[in-house]
Structure 1
Amino acid sequence: MPVVDAWMQHPTPRHANHEMFESLRRWTGVERLDKPLPVAVTVAALKAADVEVGLATAWYGPQGPLIDNDEVAAFVEQSGGRLRAVAGADLARPMAAVRELRRAVEELGFVALRVIPWLWGLPPTDRLYYPLYAACVDLGVPFCTQVGHTGPLRPSETGRPIPYIDQVALDFPELTIVCGHIGYPWTTEMIAVADKHANVYIDTSAYTARRYPPELVEYLRGRGRHKVLFGSNYPMITPSRALEHLDALNLDEETRELFLHGNARRVFAL
């Protein structure tokens, strides 16, 4: 069955080797990059898991871009159609960020915006995000973000679904919000927010199928079948490894299809 990976990145050395990822390198065994990784390596990892489309994201933080939008556009160009691009933004320069998002979507064909709250030390309710939310609604693209505890060596508070995602969805009911990394240890909060708001979704990135919390699996099998998207967080976890124990979830055919690609195609207008 074809797969869409809703959260992955083709890393640059300045992204992969950043000191804040030391904890992830310790857990996963992913090594530092001594030179740029060929896009063909990432494409091969996607093909190995039948991933037809990987949503490759830019990373912008207070010290500058770790993967910038033009780099992502170049990766997409080299991927033979296997990658689609997700923009990043410099929160410290709100109007420049809005203009850059417009350029990325309208000129470069990017399909979403992603901002990592813990990277900025700012929750999604901070005023610096709000011009970007309005721009996402205007451009018709989802806003993607991280929920749950922070694996890298940064504080986790910004990843709480309640109050932060709940409040943003109340302020911008037209905004589509895709919340990556499940929300653990606040998964029940994340499910409640997704239930409450028509345009809030969950992606499973950074977790292998056998590590999905039981409450998420129950949600996916039932009323949440249209709300949960597959994501890997490659290169930290390859799609093949993330999906290795998918059969153990006992998803029916319709739910499996929605989870692996149907929901993502609809949400990101692929």
Structure 2
Amino acid sequence: MSLDLDTIVAIDVHTHAETDGCGHYALPDEFRAGAGAYFGTRGGPPDLHQLAGHYRQRRMAAVVFTVDAEAALGHPRLRNEDVAAAAAEHSDVLIPFGSIDPAKGRAGVAEARRLVTGHGVRGFKFHPSIQAFFPDDRAAYPLYEAISELGVPALFHSGQTGIGAGLPGGGGIRLKYSNPMHLDDVAADFPDLTIIIAHPSFPWQDEALAIATHKPNVYIDLSGWSPKYFPPQLVRYANTLLKHKVLFGSDFPLITPDRWLEDFAGLGIKDEVRPLILRENAIRALGLAG
């Protein structure tokens, strides 16, 4: 069964594969505990089959990915192939993204090509703060070039992160890497690469809005925050200049789509813009229609 856009009411472009279901987790235990405290979550994360069921019950589709930060964290990642295999099993609701640590160089480029051509991966997730790299570092450009040639999007964490929050020294995680302004060069140098800036980019919201307004290939997802906390300029741009470039994302399991949508219902978004944010813009950004 494949994704039926006629029956899907919303597309969540930002959910996390946190466990392989066999006792291995995407992040070290201290980071998982810190993030749970930061977001107020309880219990263990769902596996990919449970995640699929959660979205199927709600008639939603979900982009799902892990984060490969093996070089910086020394923690074995979840296998991209496993994420892709689970998504294939639940292709009516799950859209698989890969994650490749830019430190992997040529091996990472080869993996990106293999994941798209052989495993049905539809995009890639980067988390500069956890992976400890500036997105405009030219060492990452061969990987972007491959992703652009493959015709799939690249999604980048931006702004503050709950990963490492509350730990001594923030667990060594540095926020500087996730200033969205580092994506401006990437967007300029790879105009055919669809870039998604993830999250309200605190404390750099204006930078993200400027880039998305200036560069046709840049979108913003709204994950990681309850909509009731969105900065007013983000709401204003979502209603006007960026109404075709803003995407629904939750950050599940850290924030549930139910909680996000309940708060979104009370946000001052125009009626004609809501379906764009919840579904239509994602169809275009992810290339789902063709």
TM-score exceeds 0.5? yes
Q: Is contact 1:59–1:68 with CA below 8 Å preserved after alignment?
A: no
Is 1:255 aligned to residue 262 of structure 2? no
Deviations 1:110-152, CA, capped at 9 Å, x for gaps = 1111111111211101223111110111111111111112221
Among candidates 111, 124, 132, match of residue 113 of structure 1: 124
Q: Is contact 2:223–2:249 with CA below 8 Å preserved after alignment?
A: yes
Among candidates 234, 259, 266, match of residue 216 of structure 1: 234
* Unaligned 5+ runs, structure 2: 1-7, 165-172
SS in 1 for 2:97: strand
Is 1:55 aligned to residue 63 of structure 2? yes
SS in 2 for 1:253: coil
Matched residue, 1:82:
93
Change (3 A) 1:218 1:48: farther
Is 1:157 aligned to residue 176 of structure 2? yes
Among candidates 25, 33, 42, match of residue 51 of structure 2: 42
The aligned length equals 266
Change (3 A) 1:90 1:250: closer
SS in 2 for 1:168: helix
Among candidates 17, 22, 32, match of residue 10 of structure 1: 17
Measured on the aligned residues, the alpha-carbon RMSD in Å equals 1.9
> In structure 2, what is the Cα distance between the partners aligned to 1:237 and 1:143?
22
Identify the structure with the greater strand proportion. 1
> In structure 1, what is the Cα distance between the partners aligned to 2:49 and 2:143?
32
By how many angstroms is 1:32 displaced? 5.6
Q: Is contact 2:28–2:75 with CA below 8 Å preserved after alignment?
A: no
> In structure 2, what is the Cα distance between the partners aligned to 1:10 and 1:97?
20
Q: Is contact 1:97–1:132 with CA below 8 Å preserved after alignment?
A: yes
Report which stretch shifted further, 145-154 or 75-84: 75-84
> In structure 1, what is the Cα distance between the partners aligned to 2:225 and 2:127?
17
Moved over 4 A (4+): none
Corresponding letter in the other structure for 2:55: L
> In structure 2, what is the Cα distance between the partners aligned to 1:156 and 1:179?
15
* Unaligned 5+ runs, structure 1: none
Deviations 1:17-62, CA, capped at 9 Å, x for gaps = 53223332112332463xx8443421233245442x1011132112
Q: Percent identity between the aligned chains?
A: 32
SS in 2 for 1:195: helix
